[in-house]
């Protein structure tokens, strides 16, 4: 398989992961009413880590290459910060604004972090795609800005984007050292789950044993985390971290569409044009690599 084919399959893996991630906010809104977002995020990490450990055990063939401790800690804490901040932002601002702001800021943060940490210079294609997708995100956000925005919620979404950027860059560096993608994801999420484990109990444990609570955690843990980050790690092995952070903007587009179809949120013509612009930017990046 040629290098170009590897990049295209990697891009498709990240796009598929973004679609998985895009169901997170809607699931939380539907099934987590009255439940602390910190409890949901922490429990999701715990179940997701178990799922990834199982996948890694079944698929990993090379266990000799160890993950550098600095990369493991930076990735683990980055994803822990992302999870806690993102779920809290969804609670405060709603699905579209939280998702759009968090993932919309991630490409910018990733480009900066990648340049500082690993001297990775983003390609011209990345700059163009990021401008296109960012413009789409601004258009998506225009409708919501007219109704007022929870500034603390937006700040948390930006913190989530920064946490994702650190996860993105250091995970890519670990993959370049020869660590298998699923094994990396399992290790990172296990560390993140341990770091946030105390937050699992901030709302008690009774909600986990309800039908809605159990359904939410299983969906978030197995589908959006286990499957989603397996696909994401697969793609990250094959594309630049800055490219990956732009491709994963499939998440806010998916989240916004679900907010309209499932939650009944209304969008004007500008917002729909914004979704189309985001998709155009993603397709451009996926095809040009």
3 versus 189: which is more confidently predicted?
Answer: 189
The 10 Å CB-count burial string (b at 16+, else e) for 218-240 is: ebbbbbbbbbbbbbbbbbbbbbb
List helix spans (H) across the chain.
Answer: 3-21, 24-31, 37-59, 69-93, 95-118, 124-145, 151-176, 181-196, 211-218, 228-236, 241-247, 250-261, 269-288
The whole domain housing 39 covers: 3-288
Residue 11 has pLDDT above 70, yes or no: yes
Give the Cα separation of 122 and 110 in Å (integer).
10
Average pLDDT, the chain: 83
Phi-psi region of 265 (alpha: psi -120 to 50; beta: other; left: phi over 0): beta
pLDDT of residue 178: 83
C-alpha 38/C-alpha 34 separation (Å) is: 12
Structural domain total, the chain:
1
Query: Residue 233: how many CA atoms within 13 Å on its side-chain side?
Result: 26
In tens, the pLDDT along 112-127 reads 898 888 877 777 887 8
Q: Choose the most confident range, by mean pLDDT, from 133-137, 170-174, 190-194.
A: 190-194
Q: What is the pLDDT of residue 254?
A: 85
Tokens 């601004």, located at residue? 138
pLDDT confidence of residue 3: 66
- Each residue's pLDDT tens digit, 46-79: 999 999 999 888 887 766 778 889 899 999 999 9
Kindly tell me if the per-residue pLDDT of 145 is higher than 60: no
- Lowest mean pLDDT across 1-5, 150-154, 245-249, 270-274: 1-5
């Amino acid at each position: 398989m040629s290098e170009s084919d590897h990049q295209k399959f990697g891009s498709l893996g990240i796009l598929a992961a973004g679609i998985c991630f895009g169901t997170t906010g809607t699931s939380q809104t539907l099934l987590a009413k009255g439940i602390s977002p910190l409890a949901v995020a922490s429990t999701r990490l715990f179940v997701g880590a178990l799922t990834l450990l199982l996948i890694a055990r079944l698929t990993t063939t090379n266990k000799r290459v160890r993950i550098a401790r600095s990369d493991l800690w930076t990735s683990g804490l980055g994803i822990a910060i992302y999870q806690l901040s993102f779920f809290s932002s969804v609670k405060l601002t709603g699905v579209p604004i939280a998702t759009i702001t968090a993932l919309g800021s991630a490409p910018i943060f990733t480009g900066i972090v990648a340049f500082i940490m690993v001297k990775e210079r983003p390609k011209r294609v990345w700059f163009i795609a990021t401008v296109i997708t960012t413009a789409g995100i601004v258009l998506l956000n225009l409708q919501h800005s007219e109704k007022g925005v929870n500034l603390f919620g937006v700040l948390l979404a930006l913190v989530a984007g920064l946490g994702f950027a650190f996860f993105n860059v250091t995970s890519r560096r670990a993959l370049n050292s020869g660590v298998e993608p699923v094994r990396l994801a399992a290790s990172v999420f296990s560390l993140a789950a341990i770091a946030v484990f105390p937050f699992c109990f901030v709302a008690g444990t009774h909600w986990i044993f309800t039908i809605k609570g159990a359904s939410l955690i299983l969906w978030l843990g197995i589908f959006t985390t286990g499957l989603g980050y397996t696909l994401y790690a697969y793609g990250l092995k094959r594309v630049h971290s800055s490219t990956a952070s732009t491709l994963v903007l499939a998440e806010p587009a998916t989240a916004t569409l679900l907010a309209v179809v499932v939650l009944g949120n209304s969008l004007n013509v500008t917002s729909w044009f914004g979704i189309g612009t985001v998709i155009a930017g993603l397709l451009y990046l996926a095809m040009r690599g």
